[in-house]
Structure 1
Amino acid sequence: MTALITHADGLAHVTPDGHPERVARLEHVLHALEPLGLSRVTAPLATEDDLLRCHPQDYIDRIRDKLPSRGSVPLDADTWLSPGSWNAALRAVGGAIRAVDMVLGGEAPNAFCATRPPGHHAETTTSMGFCIFGTAAIAAKHALDHHKLNRVAVVDFDVHHGNGTQDLLWNEGRALFVSSHQSPLWPGTGSRTETGAHDNVMNLPLAPGSDGEAMRRVYEAEVFPALRAFAPELVILSAGFDAHVDDPLANLEWETEDYAWLTGELCAIAAETCGGRVVSTLEGGYDLTALAAAAKAHVEQLVEAGS
């Protein structure tokens, strides 16, 4: 059975009123997943050694030192800290690491991490875009270094470019990072010319207004062949649901069924290359109804693939 990894600390990362990355996101996702009957696995706290796989000590210390005793404070215009943010961020990273351990250890066929804050915009020494630590990249490095894998693929289908994951894995020849995203759109990175130090980065910019059919063509023509050629031993998904037509922060026009199709296809490739070992971690998605529906469709495909 698919593992659902989460923790109530994710609800303690409080952003200012009106902020799109809000507590209600996680509440809606967890409520949507309840009918699936998944057993919840406690997301542990990541250790400093876990964070140090991708972030230097001075950056970790700087984040910790900025934690407020009450209220919320900005790290930048978009990224905020509240008293509960430190543990929430550590649970997000720790949950992804626990998911990797469970899937590689045979405890679960695949896993979904319902945690927040998201992580794919956090660069080596810079928090941004609602993100504090590079969750997916740290999970990939854990799989490579701790579990001694040779090849890990990270596929990011959030509507925004995963600039943080790209930065953290740029020099990692054992990882293939794939990002599909709207362009032009914040953060303004993710051109096709950004290919990594080892030709290990694939960026797929999608024009505003692109729908699910356009996404399917790009994935079938480019992503799926690249994944099969790379033959990953683990697939990590940065599962952002803000390419949905109803999302307020971007202009792609994917429908809920597009997320189901994409997840199913990625799981099928994982079945071919690595025994179906997939770890998915929640990134964006800011229309609460669309987020809940797309996340449920995504996890339903994980459950089907793992059964």
Structure 2
Amino acid sequence: MTTALLTHADCLSHKTPPGHPEQVARLEHVLHALEGLDLQRVTAPMAAEDDLLRIHPARYLDDLRRALPGEGIKQLDSDTWMSPGSLDAAFRGAGAAVRAVDMVLNGDVGNAFCATRPPGHHAETETSMGFCLFGNAALAAKHALDHHGLKLVAVVDFDVHHGNGTQDLLWDEKRALVITSQQMPLWPGTGDPEEDGAHGNVMNLPLAPESTGAAMRDVYSEQAFPRLRAFKPELIILSAGFDAHKDDPLAQLQWETEDFRWLTAQLCALAQDLCQGRIVSTLEGGYDLNALAEAAKAHVEELIKAAT
């Protein structure tokens, strides 16, 4: 078995203003870092509208189409923008998540990493925000549950910012466990432990600014991993944000690259015990280009080890 890498050149056509942290160079650096690794490289398809309707209503898709500029860039909120290529990029990101689930659950690959942009975990049911248009991780979970008939799926989000969109999209989904660690306080201001889902299916793990990878390891070992074991998911989906790195400009956590490697290895070991190693990972944040590339490479190297 091997690890699939799903991406598409359309994801480079999503343009943001000069100086914006969610820039084309992010994906370029990640893909360059992954060159030479033993991966099954897959062209990310466009998501079908029916797939997106699992998590977003038709009126939201219509609103995004109306907002799409014919030229230049258009601001949707204080930090989310669209250019003429943005919707194609977002549909590729959603399509990558769906295709990755299909490949892993069909046994074509051991696990998968979706290297796409824009990211997705801040997009709520009818609200684009935080650089995000579609909730890719939540879509992957719903596709696994509704299309493949899985009974239980877990989403683990280790981006430094709270995955408010994934939480919103899966709040009422008792078949999905959402575990998300995030710096607190930090934008978007959500992610308190009391936010635990309609069925107790959400676990928020806030981390104090300046806390290190050692603190993360303790929190995951003492809280997240036991919860995953008790839940017994048939698939684990990762929202792989790398902005908890000490070099990232948008937050103040102090993780090292080896902390991302450790966390990935631990999650792969859990997946091996719980669900035949089945993991789908999708790229979220990470805004220091070198730190992003280095940490993403470490993450994918651990996926490859686990798949072989």
Q: Is the 8 A contact 2:38 2:304 kept in 1?
A: no
Structure 2 matches for 1:270-289, cutoff 5 A?
270-289=271-290
Structure 2 matches for 1:10-21, cutoff 5 A?
10-21=11-22
Matched, 1:175 2:176: yes
Deviations 1:192-238 (A, max 9, x none): 00000000000000000010000000000000000000000000000
- 1:43: how far off? 0.4
Query: Which amino acid in structure 1 is aligned with residue 105 of structure 2?
Result: L
> In the alignment, what sits opposite 1:290?
291
SS of 1:237's equivalent in the other structure is strand
- Between the two proteins, the alignment pairs up a number of residues equal to 307
> In the alignment, what sits opposite 1:260?
261
> In the alignment, what sits opposite 2:230?
229
Measure the CA separation in 2 of the matches of 1:93 and 1:235: 17
Measure the CA separation in 2 of the matches of 1:74 and 1:238: 25
> In the alignment, what sits opposite 1:238?
239
- 1:39: how far off? 2.9
> In the alignment, what sits opposite 2:123?
122
Query: Which amino acid in structure 2 is aligned with residue 35 of structure 1?
Result: G
Structure 2 matches for 1:54-133, cutoff 5 A?
54-133=55-134
> In the alignment, what sits opposite 2:200?
199
- 1:40: how far off? 1.3
Measure the CA separation in 1 of the matches of 2:112 and 2:39: 10
* CA RMSD in angstroms, aligned pairs only: 0.5
- 1:35: how far off? 2.2
> In the alignment, what sits opposite 2:210?
209
- Structure 2 length normalisation: TM-score? 0.99
Query: Which amino acid in structure 1 is aligned with residue 70 of structure 2?
Result: S
> In the alignment, what sits opposite 2:36?
35
Measure the CA separation in 2 of the matches of 1:40 and 1:277: 18
- 1:119: how far off? 0.2
- 1:66: how far off? 0.6
Deviations 1:56-100 (A, max 9, x none): 111110001110111100110110000000110000000010000
Measure the CA separation in 2 of the matches of 1:305 and 1:174: 25
- 1:163: how far off? 0.1
SS of 1:178's equivalent in the other structure is strand
Identity %: 71
SS of 2:291's equivalent in the other structure is helix
Q: Is the 8 A contact 2:39 2:304 kept in 1?
A: no
Measure the CA separation in 2 of the matches of 1:155 and 1:147: 20
- Structure 1 length normalisation: TM-score? 1.00
Query: Which amino acid in structure 2 is aligned with residue 241 of structure 1?
Result: F
Measure the CA separation in 2 of the matches of 1:82 and 1:91: 15
Query: Which amino acid in structure 2 is aligned with residue 210 of structure 1?
Result: S
SS of 1:179's equivalent in the other structure is strand
SS of 2:113's equivalent in the other structure is strand
SS of 1:155's equivalent in the other structure is strand
Q: Is the 8 A contact 2:155 2:179 kept in 1?
A: yes
- 1:47: how far off? 1.1
Measure the CA separation in 2 of the matches of 1:226 and 1:39: 32
SS of 2:165's equivalent in the other structure is helix
Deviations 1:14-35 (A, max 9, x none): 1110000000000000000002
> In the alignment, what sits opposite 2:189?
188
The list of structure 1 runs, each at least 4 consecutive aligned residues, that deviate by more than 4 angstroms after superposition, is: none
Query: Which amino acid in structure 1 is aligned with residue 118 of structure 2?
Result: P
Measure the CA separation in 2 of the matches of 1:51 and 1:17: 30
Measure the CA separation in 1 of the matches of 2:38 and 2:225: 31
Measure the CA separation in 2 of the matches of 1:51 and 1:72: 24
- 1:38: how far off? 1.8
**Unpaired stretches in structure 1, ≥5 consecutive residues:** none
